[in-house]
């Protein structure tokens, strides 16, 4: 008998709670929020999402569970977030890969039309360098050699038709030369190819680049940024803009929710993420990963504008490379 | 020496002993569950390491790594479901041995071989890490291609019964590996507009389907034709006598050497090294009383020594160069970064204790496996006493779990069932599933490195023969492929002379 009473009381309790929830829609979040990472577990974007979600769940007042949906080159993660209801319980982590998918027209779900930006949290700087025993000593050497020997230089990167491909070809286009982009399967094989002498030119984000510069295995040639970096070991490396090459693309990481998410829910997420971004614990993470060198933060409106501009640039280069799906 | 004593203090204390036990067990369980990979196990442990000292964190992560590399063999032996890709080769002889009622022996051998391989590779790592890192760098696209071919040539020994059907199976595997976005030009191949096919068909899902699900289909069919239970024979959990194992020391050592060498090469991993070790062992011990594929103990020792030897091997480039030697070490490297270490060429100079700490953690975990693990894991053998309807359901449930959790995608579950039906038919018509999986695993490596080398060589293929390491491996391929014919010829000549 007692058991039944308990069950009845419980049922009434749940019912009342549900009523209360219905009456106050802004009572968000009432359960765990899912963060969709469109990459496999263990990569830089995954580690970032896990660290950031841990800090921001404190401010959101609900646990954030990270779900990896790494299939189909970010398309599966995006489609998964797209098929969830627009209630703020599904947040999608994004990197330049998603606007690239849109620019290359490789998914039927149009990224910018279906998602609304929350915040761009951090940006990475990309560098070019050469192995230490390379005859190329400076960016001028590199450009002179590449102009004299079109397509002779080999630059590596991860995956065809992805960010590294865009950066390699976009930079060459802006500087007016040609080289061959060789796609690798992952960062480790790429680094091994550089250290083992298979590639002429190495590109990577600053955190991965630094360790090879410090050990003297790689000579940095150029930073893809507006100005030189405020890092002691890299202070003599010219920036692309100072060399007259107007190309500064790097990677970045941010968050979006599905279009149609109620404005008040969106505001709660933005506020929580803003507090997490300002948290000293997060600043510590940025310092460790060296993502604090260039300001990467953009609020929702700025983020939307930068996405629009990027998709346009991506479209132009990938169309030229013949990588846009008809 | 100071450094070593410092590391000794860090690793051998009560708290880290607890962590090693917990970590190894957790690794074994995750490894045994298909789909829950060793890298996932390490990621699940990461939040716990945030509050630990770096030494303890390393001890825990390494213990999980060692346990995971061993755990895959448990389900491979008992259920014909490799828990990790590294354990594919262990199914070839492990499962038949367990079916003969010697599950305990098979598990014991696997655990022993795993701990031997781990300790062997740990010693090699400690002695020669910087030197081995140079070896890792001499492997570039040309060498990867040659190595991939060497792996493919193992098909002559893993499916020796019907060479023609085995060759056809490999080719089918190679063809399936081309599905998806190609890795050089980004062109969609055989995707038919289906987004889930863009990433290709992964061998893990095919493996679970073609091995485990197909086996269940087959057993259900036999079960219907027979009224008695399938497992009439008693299930023994007896271990093999230590003296008998020592007699096979050469297999342990040879497989470990193969495992370490392939382990240090960034793009190759335990799945390739265990297949090559298995292929080589079955080639050189062809005349054993128990045939390979029917429960030969060496068929368990070779792949298990090799895949655990890859643990120490893969850590070499991770620590010396900051280049992870395997997906698992990539996660470990990320963990190092969270702990506050900076992986890269200077890591060992800045953190001299680290190498010793890792070495001791490896040895500690391996000893635990050897002394404790053999007795714990063989208890899993009791699972075979379940009536088949229950066991079969369990296998299918585990398979579903594994296929889904691999990428959290339901499409993988569909592919798994298709592979299950395909595997069943393969078995019926005596085609070779291992050969198909071999083609699927290596197809990508072979194609990608072949095309990359041709780009690097400005359109020529000369690099394959002008680079010495590549040439040597290619000559080995020729040897392995020609060996069966050669030995047949020699046999004939002998008999005609007599």
Tell me the average pLDDT across B71-87.
86
Tell me the average pLDDT across A51-76.
83
Longest dimension (CA), chain B: 74
Q: How far apart are CA B302 and CA B138, in angstroms?
A: 26
Q: Does B334 touch chain A (CB under 8 A)?
A: yes
Q: How far apart are CA B268 and CA A249, in angstroms?
A: 32
Find which of B49, B137, B184, B412 to mutate to test the A interface (most A CBs within 10 Å of its CB): B137
Q: Give the number of other Cβ atoms within 10 Å of residue B348's Cβ.
A: 16
Per-residue confidence (pLDDT) for residue A42, from 0 to 100: 66
Q: Give the number of other Cβ atoms within 10 Å of residue B1's Cβ.
A: 5
- Cross-chain Cβ contact A159/B186 below 8 Å: yes
Per-residue confidence (pLDDT) for residue A129, from 0 to 100: 94
A154 Cα to chain B: minimum distance (Å): 7
Q: Does B443 touch chain A (CB under 8 A)?
A: no
Proportion of chain B above pLDDT 70, given as a percent: 94
Find which of B407, B410, B442, B469 to mutate to test the A interface (most A CBs within 10 Å of its CB): B407
- Cross-chain Cβ contact A160/B47 below 8 Å: no
Q: Does A217 touch chain B (CB under 8 A)?
A: yes
Q: How far apart are CA B168 and CA B4, in angstroms?
A: 53
Higher pLDDT, B492 or B41: B41
Find which of B54, B179, B266, B315 to mutate to test the A interface (most A CBs within 10 Å of its CB): B266
**Among A161-170, B24-33, B151-160, which stretch is predicted with the lowest mean pLDDT?**
B151-160
Contacts of B455 in chain A (CB under 8 A): 154, 180, 182
The strand pairing partners of A222, in sequence order, are A128
- Cross-chain Cβ contact A192/B266 below 8 Å: yes
Q: Does B141 touch chain A (CB under 8 A)?
A: yes
Residue B85: pLDDT band by 50, 70, 90 thresholds?
Answer: confident
Q: Give the number of other Cβ atoms within 10 Å of residue B235's Cβ.
A: 17
Higher pLDDT, B101 or A178: A178
Q: Does B484 touch chain A (CB under 8 A)?
A: no
B335 Cα to chain A: minimum distance (Å): 9
Tell me the average pLDDT across A270-299.
85
Q: Give the number of other Cβ atoms within 10 Å of residue B494's Cβ.
A: 9
- Cross-chain Cβ contact B266/A73 below 8 Å: no
Q: How far apart are CA B263 and CA B313, in angstroms?
A: 5
Q: Which of A181-195, B43-57, B105-119 has the highest mean pLDDT?
A: B105-119
- Cross-chain Cβ contact B342/A211 below 8 Å: yes
Per-residue confidence (pLDDT) for residue A141, from 0 to 100: 93
**Among A318-322, B42-46, B265-269, B403-407, which stretch is predicted with the lowest mean pLDDT?**
B265-269
Per-residue confidence (pLDDT) for residue B153, from 0 to 100: 84
The strand pairing partners of B437, in sequence order, are none
Proportion of chain A above pLDDT 90, given as a percent: 27
Is-contact B316 B133, C-beta < 8 A? Answer: yes
B444 Cα to chain A: minimum distance (Å): 10
Residue B317: exposed, middle, or buried by beta-carbon count in 10 A (0-12, 13-18, 19+)? Answer: buried
- Evaluated on CA atoms A15, A16, A21, A24, the torsion sign reads positive
Per-residue confidence (pLDDT) for residue B160, from 0 to 100: 59
- Cross-chain Cβ contact B407/A289 below 8 Å: no
Facing residue for A185 by CB, picked from B196, B267, B331: B267
Contacts of B110 (CB under 8 A, 6+ apart): B70, B73, B74, B77, B90, B94, B300, B304, B377
A301 Cα to chain B: minimum distance (Å): 30
Contacts of B192 in chain A (CB under 8 A): none
Tell me the average pLDDT across B379-392.
84
Residue A9: pLDDT band by 50, 70, 90 thresholds?
Answer: low
Facing residue for A42 by CB, picked from B43, B342, B347: B43
Per-residue confidence (pLDDT) for residue B86, from 0 to 100: 84
Per-residue confidence (pLDDT) for residue A318, from 0 to 100: 85
Facing residue for B334 by CB, picked from A47, A195, A198: A47
The tens digit of pLDDT for each residue in B251-275 reads 999 999 999 988 888 766 777 888 8
Proportion of chain B above pLDDT 90, given as a percent: 24
Contacts of A76 in chain B (CB under 8 A): 195-196, 199, 407, 409
Gyration radius of chain B over CA positions: 22
CA distances in angstroms from B145 to A171, A193, B464, listed in the order given:
31, 14, 8
Per-residue confidence (pLDDT) for residue A48, from 0 to 100: 85
Residue A7: pLDDT band by 50, 70, 90 thresholds?
Answer: low
Q: Does B458 touch chain A (CB under 8 A)?
A: yes
Please determine, for residue B490, whether its predicted confidence score (pLDDT) is greater than 90: no
For A:36-55, CB contacts with B below 8 A are: 40-44, 47, 50-51, 54
Per-residue confidence (pLDDT) for residue B371, from 0 to 100: 85
- Cross-chain Cβ contact B183/A70 below 8 Å: no
For B:89-128, CB contacts with A below 8 A are: none
Q: Does A323 touch chain B (CB under 8 A)?
A: yes
Please determine, for residue A187, whether its predicted confidence score (pLDDT) is greater than 80: no
Per-residue confidence (pLDDT) for residue B234, from 0 to 100: 58
Find which of B330, B452, B454, B466 to mutate to test the A interface (most A CBs within 10 Å of its CB): B452
Please determine, for residue B50, whether its predicted confidence score (pLDDT) is greater than 60: yes
Per-residue confidence (pLDDT) for residue B232, from 0 to 100: 46
A234 Cα to chain B: minimum distance (Å): 17
Please determine, for residue B330, whether its predicted confidence score (pLDDT) is greater than 90: no
Tally of structural domains, chain B: 1
Higher pLDDT, B271 or A274: A274
Per-residue confidence (pLDDT) for residue A83, from 0 to 100: 82
Per-residue confidence (pLDDT) for residue A21, from 0 to 100: 43
Angle, helices B298-320 vs B249-264, to 10°: value is 30
Q: Does A180 touch chain B (CB under 8 A)?
A: yes
The tens digit of pLDDT for each residue in B434-445 reads 889 888 888 888
Q: Give the number of other Cβ atoms within 10 Å of residue A259's Cβ.
A: 12
Q: How far apart are CA B481 and CA B157, in angstroms?
A: 9
Nearest to A229 by CA among A253, A215, A217, A213: A213
Find which of B179, B268, B344 to mutate to test the A interface (most A CBs within 10 Å of its CB): B344
Tell me the average pLDDT across B308-325.
85
Tell me the average pLDDT across A189-200.
88
- Cross-chain Cβ contact A188/B458 below 8 Å: no
Per-residue confidence (pLDDT) for residue B235, from 0 to 100: 66
Q: Which of A203-207, B300-304, B409-413, B441-445 has the highest mean pLDDT?
A: B300-304
Q: How far apart are CA B445 and CA B442, in angstroms?
A: 5
Q: Does B323 touch chain A (CB under 8 A)?
A: yes
Nearest to B201 by CA among B416, B398, B433, B402: B416
A215 Cα to chain B: minimum distance (Å): 6
Q: How does the average pLDDT of chain A come out, rounded?
A: 84
Tell me the average pLDDT across A131-156.
93
In which domain, by residue range, is B311 found?
2-497
- Cross-chain Cβ contact B323/A41 below 8 Å: no
Residue A237: pLDDT band by 50, 70, 90 thresholds?
Answer: very high
- Evaluated on CA atoms B420, B425, B429, B435, the torsion sign reads negative
Q: How far apart are CA B173 and CA A313, in angstroms?
A: 39
Q: Which of A135-139, A258-262, B277-281 has the highest mean pLDDT?
A: A135-139
Nearest to B342 by CA among A226, A233, A159: A233
Find which of A183, A200, A210, A289 to mutate to test the B interface (most B CBs within 10 Å of its CB): A183
B44-74: b (≥16 Cβ within 10 Å) or e:
ebbeebeebebbbbbbbbbbbbbbbbbbbbb
Is-contact A49 A18, C-beta < 8 A? Answer: no
Is-contact B10 B60, C-beta < 8 A? Answer: no
A to B CB pairs, distance under 8 Å: 140
Tell me the average pLDDT across B323-336.
81
Tell me the average pLDDT across A59-72.
81
Per-residue confidence (pLDDT) for residue A244, from 0 to 100: 92
- Evaluated on CA atoms A172, A178, A184, A188, the torsion sign reads negative
Per-residue confidence (pLDDT) for residue A24, from 0 to 100: 43
Please give the domain boundaries of chain A with CATH numbers for all domains.
32-123+251-321 (3.40.190.150), 126-234 (3.40.190.10)
Strand stretches in B28-185, DSSP E: 180-181
Specify the DSSP element, H or E, that contains A221. strand A218-223
For A:247-286, CB contacts with B below 8 A are: none
Under DSSP, is residue A195 helix (H, G, I), strand (E, B) or coil?
A: helix
Per-residue confidence (pLDDT) for residue A241, from 0 to 100: 93
């Amino acid at each position: 008998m007692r058991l039944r009473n308990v069950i009845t009381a419980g049922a009434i309790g749940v019912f009342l709670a549900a009523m209360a929830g219905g009456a106050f829609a802004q009572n968000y979040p009432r359960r765990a929020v899912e963060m969709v990472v469109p990459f496999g577990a263990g990569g830089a974007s995954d580690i970032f999402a896990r660290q950031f979600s841990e800090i921001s769940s404190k401010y959101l007042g609900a646990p954030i569970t990270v779900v990896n949906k790494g299939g189909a080159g970010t398309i599966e993660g995006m489609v998964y977030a797209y098929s969830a209801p627009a209630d703020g319980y599904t947040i999608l982590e994004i990197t330049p890969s998603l606007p690239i998918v849109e620019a290359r027209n490789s998914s039927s779900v149009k990224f910018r039309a279906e998602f609304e930006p929350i915040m761009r949290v951090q940006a990475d700087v990309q560098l070019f360098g050469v192995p230490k025993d390379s005859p190329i000593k400076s960016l001028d050497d590199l450009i002179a050699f590449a102009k004299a020997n079109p397509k002779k230089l080999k630059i590596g990167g991860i995956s065809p038709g992805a960010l590294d491909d865009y950066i390699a070809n976009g930079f060459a286009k802006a500087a007016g030369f040609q080289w061959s982009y060789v796609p690798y399967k992952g960062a480790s094989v790429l680094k091994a190819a550089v250290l083992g002498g298979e590639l002429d030119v190495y590109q990577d984000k600053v955190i991965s680049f630094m360790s090879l510069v410090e050990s003297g295995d790689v000579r940095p040639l150029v930073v893809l940024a507006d100005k030189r970096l405020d890092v002691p070991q890299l202070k003599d490396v010219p920036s692309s803009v100072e060399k007259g090459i107007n190309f500064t693309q790097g990677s970045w990481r941010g968050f979006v929710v599905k279009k149609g998410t109620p404005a008040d829910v969106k505001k709660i997420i933005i506020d929580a993420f803003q507090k997490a971004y300002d948290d000293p614990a997060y600043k510590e993470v940025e310092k460790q990963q060296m993502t604090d060198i260039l300001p990467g933060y953009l609020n929702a409106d700025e983020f939307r504008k930068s996405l629009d501009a990027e998709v346009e640039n991506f479209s132009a280069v990938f169309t030229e490379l013949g990588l846009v799906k008809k | 020496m100071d450094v070593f004593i410092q590391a000794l203090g860090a690793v051998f204390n009560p708290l880290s002993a607890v962590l090693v036990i917990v970590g190894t067990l957790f690794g074994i369980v995750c490894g045994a569950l298909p789909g829950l990979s060793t890298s996932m196990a390490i990621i699940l442990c990461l939040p716990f390491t945030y509050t630990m000292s770096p030494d303890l964190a390393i001890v825990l992560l390494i213990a999980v790594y060692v346990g995971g590399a061993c755990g895959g063999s448990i389900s491979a032996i008992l259920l014909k479901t490799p828990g990790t890709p590294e354990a594919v080769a262990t199914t070839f002889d492990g499962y038949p041995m367990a079916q003969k009622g010697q599950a305990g022996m098979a598990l014991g051998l696997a655990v022993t071989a795993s701990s031997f391989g781990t300790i062997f590779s740990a010693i090699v790592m400690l002695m020669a890490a910087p030197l081995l890192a140079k070896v890792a760098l001499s492997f570039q696209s040309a060498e990867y291609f040659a190595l991939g071919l060497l792996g493919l040539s193992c098909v002559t020994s893993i499916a020796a019964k019907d060479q023609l059907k085995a060759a056809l199976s490999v080719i089918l595997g190679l063809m399936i590996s081309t599905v998806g976005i190609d890795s050089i030009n980004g062109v969609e191949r055989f995707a038919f507009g289906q987004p889930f096919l863009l990433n290709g068909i992964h061998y893990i899902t095919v493996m679970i389907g073609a091995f485990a699900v197909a086996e269940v289909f087959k057993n259900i069919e036999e079960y219907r034709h027979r009224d008695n239970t399938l497992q009439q024979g008693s299930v023994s959990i007896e271990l093999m006598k230590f003296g008998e194992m020592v007699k096979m020391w050469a297999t342990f050592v040879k497989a470990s050497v193969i495992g370490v060498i392939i382990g240090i090469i960034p793009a190759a991993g335990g799945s390739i090294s265990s297949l090559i070790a298995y292929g080589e062992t079955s080639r050189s011990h062809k005349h054993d009383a128990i045939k390979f594929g029917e429960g030969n103990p060496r068929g368990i020792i070779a792949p298990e020594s090799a895949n655990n030897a890859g643990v120490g091997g893969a850590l070499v480039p991770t620590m010396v160069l900051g280049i992870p030697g395997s997906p698992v070490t990539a996660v470990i490297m990320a963990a190092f970064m969270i702990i506050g270490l900076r992986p890269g060429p200077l890591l060992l100079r800045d953190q001299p204790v680290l190498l010793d700490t890792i070495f001791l953690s490896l040895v500690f975990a391996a000893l635990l496996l050897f002394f404790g693990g053999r007795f714990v894991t063989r208890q899993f053998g009791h699972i075979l006493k379940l009536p088949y309807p229950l066991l079969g359901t369990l296998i299918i449930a585990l398979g579903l779990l594994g296929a889904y959790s691999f990428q959290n995608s339901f499409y993988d579950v569909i592919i798994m069932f298709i592979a299950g039906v395909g595997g069943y038919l393969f078995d019926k018509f005596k085609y070779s599933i291992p050969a198909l999986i071999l083609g699927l695993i290596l197809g990508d490596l072979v194609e990608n490195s072949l095309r990359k080398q041709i780009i690097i060589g400005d359109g020529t293929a000369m690099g394959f023969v002008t680079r010495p390491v590549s040439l040597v491996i290619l000559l080995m391929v020729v040897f392995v492929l020609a060996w069966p014919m050669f030995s047949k010829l020699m046999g004939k000549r002998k008999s005609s002379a007599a």
